[in-house]
Each structure stands twice: as C-alpha cells, then as structure tokens.
Amino acid sequence: MLLKLKDVFLNDGSRSEFDYSLPLAELDINGDYPFKSPVRVLATAVNRAGVVELNVKAVFDYTTRCDRCFVPITKPMELSFAHGLATELIDEENDDYIETPDYTLELDDVVISDILLNLPSKMLCKDDCKGLCPKCGKNLNEGDCGCDNETIDSRLEILKQLID
C-alpha cells in the first residue's frame, strides 16, 4: 500500500490512519508458506513537533511445524513496530529513520521486513515440547517409546567417571 503523507509532514499535529489486509500467501520462508490468511495491518502516521512517526501493528496467524516434534501448528501473532520518517537523510547509514523524499512510503515493504525480522527463531507447539526420540522417531509428547536412552556417546564416556 502506497502511503501519501504530504499532509502529515507539512502540518504539526496531523495524523493519518490506515487499516488494510496484506496477502502474503506467496511468501516463501525456508520452503514453507506460513501465511494462509492475509496479514491485517493497522498503521498510524503522526506529526509531533515536526517529527513524523509511523506506528504499525501486524496481526496474523502463522502456520508452520514445531521445531522439536514436527507437528503442524498455527500461532496467532501480533507484532508492533515504530519508525521515524524523514524526507531527507543526512547520513545514509542512519537506520533510525526511513527516507520518504516525495512524501510517499510503500508500507508493504516495511511491514514484510519487520515481520521477517521479528519472527521467533524457534516455533514450538508448547513450551515443554519433548520432541522426537533420536532412535525411533516417536513423538515423545504422546508417551514414552521404550527405547534405551542410557547409551552414552563414547567421546563423553570419560565424563561419566566424574559422576561415579
């Protein structure tokens, strides 16, 4: 969505609000397409004493597999972001502001970047997920598999002597 923010930049106290759906079904993340429904984007651009701030909230369901047990999960997520906007940047390496030289901003690009940067590195079906048995592959959340897990890696055998 292209935001036209000229009125906000030129008038102190001015604000613009935006509410729209962003379809991301085609977004590939590590070979998976986790956005089954559109992302709802709520954004507000406010000019406070000549400084324009963009506040964004993205609400969506994220569908993936648990990183420990590989069970399909869908997690409702709500992420919030804030960015300063400027019509001109003096220092090109300044990451604190987004440059909007013609008073316009392509909000979709900002939202997608913010979502990808703020997704959790691990997605679990539950906090105490036990994962899969390393020998037989059974989901340990469904019960014990009966495998002998007492074998110790030969490289670590010397450490067992410290316990005995």
Q: Residues 142, 108: one domain?
A: no
Q: Residues 45, 121: one domain?
A: yes
Reduced to 3 states (helix: H, G, I; strand: E, B; else coil), residue 4 is: strand
Q: Residue 52 and residue 83: Cα distance in Å, rounded?
A: 9
Closest CA to 142 of 158, 126, 160: 126
Q: Which domain holds residue 116?
A: 2-129
Contact 101, 85 (CB under 8 A): no
Q: What residues have CB less than 8 Å from 119, skipping those under 6 apart?
A: 29, 62
Give percent of the chain with pLDDT exceeding 70.
94
Q: Residues 125, 45: one domain?
A: yes
Q: Residues 38, 95: one domain?
A: yes
Q: Residues 55, 80: one domain?
A: yes
Q: Count other C-beta atoms under 10 Å from residue 87's C-beta.
A: 14
Q: Residues 121, 136: one domain?
A: no
Residues 50-108: tens digit of each pLDDT: 788 999 999 999 999 999 999 999 999 999 999 988 877 776 666 678 888 888 889 99
Q: Residues 123, 146: one domain?
A: no
Q: Residues 103, 164: one domain?
A: no
Angle at 46 between CA 12 and CA 101, to 5 degrees: 85
